[in-house]
Homo-oligomer: A and B are copies of this chain.
């Protein structure tokens, strides 16, 4: 299993007139969480792209439990439970500075070969790098 935690501050731009983080901002938090998780593994999402493999999103589910507020310091906790093959499934939980669980969701990405313009399996080199975690 892969687990990673990243912190982000809530700024004015993230809030809406209800005074809390706009519901449409969470996909960004999820993106930050998984991007930093991959970076911690020793390579970057950017390098994956440079090798011709993209990871478009197939689906996302978000459960909003409590609002995140202005100036909160959020912890984005990202987990991958299964070795990705065709799909790359990320579970995300977001906590505030009081360790309250605010938000929980799941993102499914698919490996996509840009040159062939179709879905593909995860590259062997990528699998080799991360299979030890599963």
Interface residues, chain A, CB within 8 Å of chain B? 9, 11-13, 15-20, 22-28, 31-32, 35, 44-46, 54, 56-64, 67, 70-71
Find A44's partner among B17, B24, B71 (CB 8 Å cutoff): B71
In the complex this chain forms, how many copies of it are found? 4
Judging by beta carbons under 8 Å apart, are A32 and B45 in contact? no
Whether the Cβ atoms of B59 and A61 lie closer than 8 Å is yes
Alpha-carbon distance between A22 and B14 when the two chains are bound, in angstroms: 9
Residue among A12, A46, A60 with max Cβ neighbours from chain B (10 Å): A12
**Judging by beta carbons under 8 Å apart, are B71 and A64 in contact?**
no
Chain B residues whose C-beta falls within 8 Å of the C-beta of A67 in the assembled complex: 56
Q: Would you give the shortest CB distance from A8 to chain B, in whole angstroms?
A: 10
